[in-house]
Amino acid sequence: MANATLSANTRAETGKGAARKLRQAGNIPAVIYGHNREPQSLVLNSRETEKLVKSIPVSSTAIDLSIDGTTVRTLIREIQRHPFKRSILHIDFQELVAGETVTVKCPIVYVGTPEGVRLDGGILDQIMHELQIQVDPSNLPNHIDVDISALKVGKSLHVSDLTVPAGIKIVDDASSTVCVVQQPKQAPDSAAAGAAEPELIRKPKPEDK
């Protein structure tokens, strides 16, 4: 399980005006909720937060959030960004508690080279890059390995074909295609291409009649 740490402080002022002042001062407004707690308004350091978010898989990383000196294990649920600058405007955290499952998006790591690629020149098409899973926070994985080494040309893997560690439940539709090995592209046949060239048509000369 991936872990990270971040510091936060509680804030009393809320609303658009207060949030704008925080951003101008180099901070990010945030909120934490979950585990039957009332939503609590927070403030984060912008530089520290931006650096962290760029370095982790956000959807599957548990963050030990230190709030005024008290550490709470959390998961980032939503990041609001500026439409043009892409800077972080607001973050939602959910408190994690062992024994209470959460639904998260977890990256897929494809393992091996498909048989159809190695032997028959097929092309691997990775349709899904992450899985939505339900898991206890204490067992939150960094990624899900998907073994594709036996996949032949024209064959595909579906969610129902995947094997995941105990304690993890895949939420995605079981019939969804995860990946497929496509037929290799055929090079154009030069002879056929030549035969397909249009025949020159000319009017017969008088002496040809």
pLDDT of 204 higher than 80: no
**Is there a single domain that holds both residue 7 and residue 89?**
yes
Q: How sure is the predictor about 57, in pLDDT bands with cuts at 50, 70 and 90?
A: confident
pLDDT of residue 176: 97
Is residue 159 in a domain? Answer: yes
| Amino acid (1-letter code) at residue 50 | E
Residue 39 CA, distance from chain mean position:
27
**What is the CB-side half-sphere exposure of residue 10 using CA atoms within 13 A?**
9
Q: What average pLDDT does range 9-31 have in this prediction?
A: 88
165 and 146 both lie in a single domain = yes
User: Which of 97, 113, 134 delimits the end of a domain?
Assistant: 97
Average confidence (pLDDT) over 50-56? 92
Higher pLDDT residue, 44 or 2? 44
- Neighbouring residues of 17: CB distance < 8 A, sequence distance ≥ 6: none
Do 72 and 130 belong to one domain? Answer: no
- DSSP three-state, residue 22: helix
> Whole-angstrom Cα distance, residue 121 to residue 99?
47
Q: What pLDDT is stored for residue 191 in this prediction?
A: 45
Q: Which residue in 103, 154, 104, 99 sits closest to 125, CA to CA? A: 154
Question: Of 67, 97, 127, which marks where a domain is finished?
Answer: 97
pLDDT digits (tens, 9 = 90+) for 122-162: 999 999 999 999 998 888 888 999 999 999 999 999 999 99
Residues 92 and 127 in one domain: no
CA dist 155 and 159 (Å) reads 14
User: Which tokens go with 89?
Assistant: 């405007």
